[in-house]
Homo-oligomer: A and B are copies of this chain.
Amino acid sequence: MKFAIQVNEGPYTHEASDTAYLFTRAALEKGHEIFRVFFYHDGVNNGTNLTTPPQDDRNVTNRWSELAAKHNLDLVVCVAAAQRRGIVDEGEMKRNGKSAQNIADGFRISGLGQLIEAGIQADRLVVFGD
């Protein structure tokens, strides 16, 4: 079956990203397809490569990046939400005259249409948030 996942909260502050990750991993292990993981609201903060969590804690962003690399996942960060919160790729950096980019491996910035498309294309859309 084809799943789409929406993540509405950033790393660590809420459990949403953890649950979404563990759900996604379990779905892949069961042979399901993940059409897309869409990061919205503070969820875009999962896509920064600038975190340094404590050594004895999970690394939320790296975990997503690694799962994406292994299963060729489409991790999409909403551009409008990302602009409000400061998640930037090379294109956004140039377009908005920012001094740096901080998008993590395996994530890409795109529009809200990607969420609607995921809702249309997937058999199930599951929302994780606060």
Contacts and interface: CB of A to CB of B under 8 A. Distances in A.
B86 A102 contact: yes
A114 interface: no
Interface string A24-65: 000000000000000001100100111111100000010000
A89 B51 CA distance: 12
Given A13-B41, A41-B13, A51 B86 contact: yes
- Dominant secondary structure at the A interface: loop
Interface residues of A, number: 29
B50 A88 contact: yes
A86 B45 contact: yes
Contacts of A88: 50
Given A45-B86, A86-B45, A50 B100 contact: yes
Given A10-B10, A49-B98, A52-B83, 5 more contacts: A10-B85, A50-B88, A52-B92, A54-B84, A100-B102
Interface of A: 10-13, 41-42, 45, 48-54, 61, 80, 83-88, 92, 96, 98-102
- Give me the 6 closest cross-chain CB pairs, A-B, nearest first: A50-B86, A100-B100, A48-B86, A51-B86, A52-B83, A52-B96
